[in-house]
Amino acid sequence: MGKTIAEKIFDSHYVDNPSGDIHVIRLDAVFCHEITTPAAINDLVSRGKDRVFDPSKIKAVIDHVTPAKDSKTAIQGKILRDWAGRHQIRDFFDIGRNGVCHAIFPEKGFVRPGYTIIMGDSHTCTHGAFGAFAAGVGTTDLEVGILKGVCAFHYPKSMKIEVNGALPKGVYAKDVILSIIGKISVNGATNKVIEFSGSTVDAMSMEARMTICNMAVEAGATSGICRPDQTTVDYLWEFIKDEFQSRASALEAFSAFAPDPDAKYDSMITLQAETIEPLVTYGYKPDQVKTVREMEGERVDQVYIGSCTNGRIEDLRAAARELEGKKIKDSVRGIVSPATPLIYHQALEEGIIKIFMDAGFCVTNPTCGACLGMSNGILAPGEVCASTTNRNFNGRMGKGGMVHLMNPATAAASAVKGCITNSEQYMHGR
């Protein structure tokens, strides 16, 4: 019988089947950040088991609160930093070299097709864009991953979501995933892997694939996953060129993790890209989705462009196209956080940072900060934020605040107008 991508990865990483459909699998990478890892480190120390299974397979970054904002966050950073030092974890990214975990780890070439990855962060599903099984876990799973290099999961059921056709101008990957979550709801994919496919996904850049996989967890999915293809190989080539004779041979090797034509799916959904228009969330759940047209004119106090969902170079370009030569409304606070130093550099070289600054945006260092109201950009009660992030939960960006999720072009257009509105690129393309 044919297998899905997730089944192929699980079968090639099998360690044990302790009971029922529980599979313990071998991990190719364990990613760490300073919010959920220190408790795991402290627990390992207190148990007398301060060890790591393989320092070359552990990658760590300080990203949620950076620079540290108080003693507590300084201590969290220090625990991670000291631990990385004493265990010779070479891939540790501290301030000046750090970025949002789900942007910087792929950018460094740490994610490969067929990999198994865990991290103490729910948006770890982002890395499925490379044809990897990547899942967010809690601190205890992370702790065992660090110590033993294994993790337990139910053997994965997959939901196939096929998107076909060409996206209209001004419609982005963010709209595709919001459209999907709106259809299947916040628990529509719980305990399943979403396998994204179809000509729209095939035509997407790695950045766009990361955007759709990033929000798979907002539908409850264990991981989002895309079939590795030429785009995957081209993105990774600089990191893998010593391992393969040619791009063609890399593609052939990675094709081992393509789904079989007769793979069995738990359910299947098909979307037509031409029918998708710019979307925005309206409530406190990511499945509460309306078209921007329906929400046109809703006041915004703050506009945030960044995060592991939409803080990559393509996202900044999309926003800059909208902002070029314009000023944001006086009543709006605009904040942009390029997700990594490399993205920041690229944006500087392309003149994008200047466009943001000329428009009146505040440009911050790479950090998760504002997305979860942890270190900057916090809303006052009653305030509204147009945001390119992934969660609109009650209190997410500050107690009493409201978050509307949208694509970067819509967010930029809304900053200019002071209220939710469609981007010019979308309106002109109609």
Partner 1 sequence: MKNFNGKVLFLDRSDINTDEIIPAKYLTEISKEALKPNLLEDLKLEGFSPSADIPGKSIVITRANFGCGSSREHAPWAFEVNGINLIIAESYARIFRQNMFNCGMMAIELPKETIDHLFKVYQRKEVTIETDLDRNWFTIRSGSRIEEIPFFISDYDRSLVLAGGWVEFADRHY
Closer CB to partner 1, residue 283 or residue 360? 283
CB 256 within 8 A of CB 8: yes
Per-residue exposure over 228-242, b if at least 16 CB sit within 10 Å of its own CB, e if not = bbebbbebbeeebee
Q: To the nearest whole angstrom, how small is the minimum distance from the Cβ of residue 141 to partner 1?
A: 6
CA dist., res. 296 & res. 422, Å (int): 8
Closer CB to partner 1, residue 222 or residue 421? 222
**95-99 contacts, C-beta under 8 A, 24 or more apart:** 95/62, 95/66, 95/67, 95/365, 96/341, 97/341, 98/61, 98/62, 98/63, 98/66, 98/341, 98/366, 98/367, 99/61, 99/63, 99/339, 99/340, 99/341, 99/342, 99/343, 99/366
370 binds partner 1 (CB under 8 A): no
Closer CB to partner 1, residue 70 or residue 238? 70
Window 308-367: residues binding partner 1 (CB under 8 A): none
CB 302 within 8 A of CB 385: yes
Q: What contacts 112, CB < 8 A, 6 or more positions away?
A: 28, 130, 132, 236, 240, 254
Q: To the nearest whole angstrom, how small is the minimum distance from the Cβ of residue 232 to partner 1?
A: 25
CB 308 within 8 A of CB 174: no
404 binds partner 1 (CB under 8 A): no
Window 124-163: residues binding partner 1 (CB under 8 A): 124, 136-141, 143-144, 147-148, 150, 152
How far the first Cα of the chain sits from its last, in Å, is: 45
Residue from the set 129, 159, 280, 372 that interacts with partner 1 by CB under 8 A: 372
95 binds partner 1 (CB under 8 A): no
Q: To the nearest whole angstrom, how small is the minimum distance from the Cβ of residue 409 to partner 1?
A: 26
Of the candidates 52, 77, 5, 160, the residue with the CA atom closest to the CA atom of residue 367: 77
- The stretch near partner 1 (CB under 8 A) out of 73-81, 265-273, 292-300, 307-315 is 73-81
# chain residues binding partner 1, by CB under 8 A: 56
Length of the chain: 430
267 binds partner 1 (CB under 8 A): no
Closer CB to partner 1, residue 141 or residue 298? 141
CB 319 within 8 A of CB 306: no
240 binds partner 1 (CB under 8 A): no
Residue from the set 42, 205, 346, 376 that interacts with partner 1 by CB under 8 A: 42
Residue from the set 198, 220, 278, 377 that interacts with partner 1 by CB under 8 A: 220
Residue from the set 391, 412, 418, 422 that interacts with partner 1 by CB under 8 A: 391
51 binds partner 1 (CB under 8 A): no
269 binds partner 1 (CB under 8 A): no
DSSP string, 324-390: TT----TT-EEEE--SSHHHHHHHHHTTHHHHHHHHTEEEPPS-SGGGGTSSS-PPPTT-EEEESSS
Residue from the set 108, 395, 417, 424 that interacts with partner 1 by CB under 8 A: 395
Closer CB to partner 1, residue 121 or residue 314? 121
Q: Which stretches within 219-312 are classed as H helix?
A: 230-240, 247-254, 292-295, 307-310
| Token pair recorded at residue 82 | 């000291």
275 binds partner 1 (CB under 8 A): no
Closer CB to partner 1, residue 156 or residue 170? 156
Q: To the nearest whole angstrom, how small is the minimum distance from the Cβ of residue 152 to partner 1?
A: 7
52 binds partner 1 (CB under 8 A): no
396 binds partner 1 (CB under 8 A): yes
- Supply the angle between the helices 341-349 and 352-359 in degrees, to the nearest 10: 80
Contact residues for partner 1 (CB under 8 A)? 15-16, 18-20, 22, 24, 35-36, 38-39, 42-43, 47, 49, 64-65, 70, 72-73, 75-76, 79, 120-122, 124, 136-141, 143-144, 147-148, 150, 152, 186-187, 190-191, 220, 222, 284-285, 372-374, 391, 393-396, 399
